A and B are shown apart, each in its own frame.
Chain A
Amino acid sequence: DAKTTQPPSMDCAEGRAANLPCNHSTISGNEYVYWYRQIHSQGPQYIIHGLKNNETNEMASLIITEDRKSSTLILPHATLRDTAVYYCIGTGYNFNKFYFGSGTKLNVKP
């Protein structure tokens, strides 16, 4: 199963892009990378996922390096409501076990 490594915390100015990095050097070739976030103590919320290609949806963009050893989640225009803990996750060898790790605490400041 892929182990993911994320910085414990990051700051971002409101209105600027937030770029959250994740290292997943042990990820297997057919293992997806997922991003979730957790606001306060609510249940985690799905953001985006990808395999090889870059992905974009209404919430964020996901950039995956060509060797798939790392990825970056981009929130294009961060708002105060984006303050949360962001988790980068690999799906595991059987594509069913989701291990969350400690995540990155993103602080969006006015």
Chain B
Amino acid sequence: NAGVTQTPKFQVLKTGQSMTLQCAQDMNHNSMYWYRQDPGMGLRLIYYSASEGTTDKGEVPNGYNVSRLNKREFSLRLESAAPSQTSVYFCASRPVQVNTGELFFGEGSRLTVL
């Protein structure tokens, strides 16, 4: 099993450009998440999706949009990239249990905005 797969792994953008980070999981998990991690900092929740067709904001949603395309895929879009969005982005998924169930993370996507 591949687990959680993120693409691309590295990307350099110019200010104002747009791009979409892709995430797919093959574990039949209901919940999926997008986090960002700035250098020397902890992870901050951008958006999450509790199930197919639903999304909700996390701590730092401004400047991002998400799409839960189906149960497997959860994409994160930057419409107009800014240098402040330079970060490592992690996607995660979680099984359906309500009170328990751990997060499974992808390897991260490293984004630099010039």
Residues of B within 8 A of A102 (CB): 41-42
Q: How many residues of A contact B (CB 8 A)?
A: 24
Q: Is the CB of B100 within 8 A of A49?
A: yes
Q: Could you give 27 example pairs across A and B, Cβ below 8 Å?
A: A32-B100, A34-B102, A36-B103, A41-B88, A42-B108, A43-B90, A43-B92, A43-B107, A43-B108, A44-B103, A44-B105, A51-B99, A87-B43, A91-B99, A95-B98, A95-B99, A97-B58, A98-B33, A98-B45, A98-B103, A99-B45, A99-B59, A100-B35, A100-B44, A102-B41, A102-B42, A103-B42
- Tell me if A30 and B99 are in contact (CB < 8 A): yes
A residues neighboring B (CB under 8 Å): 30, 32, 34, 36, 41-46, 49, 51, 85, 87, 91, 95-103
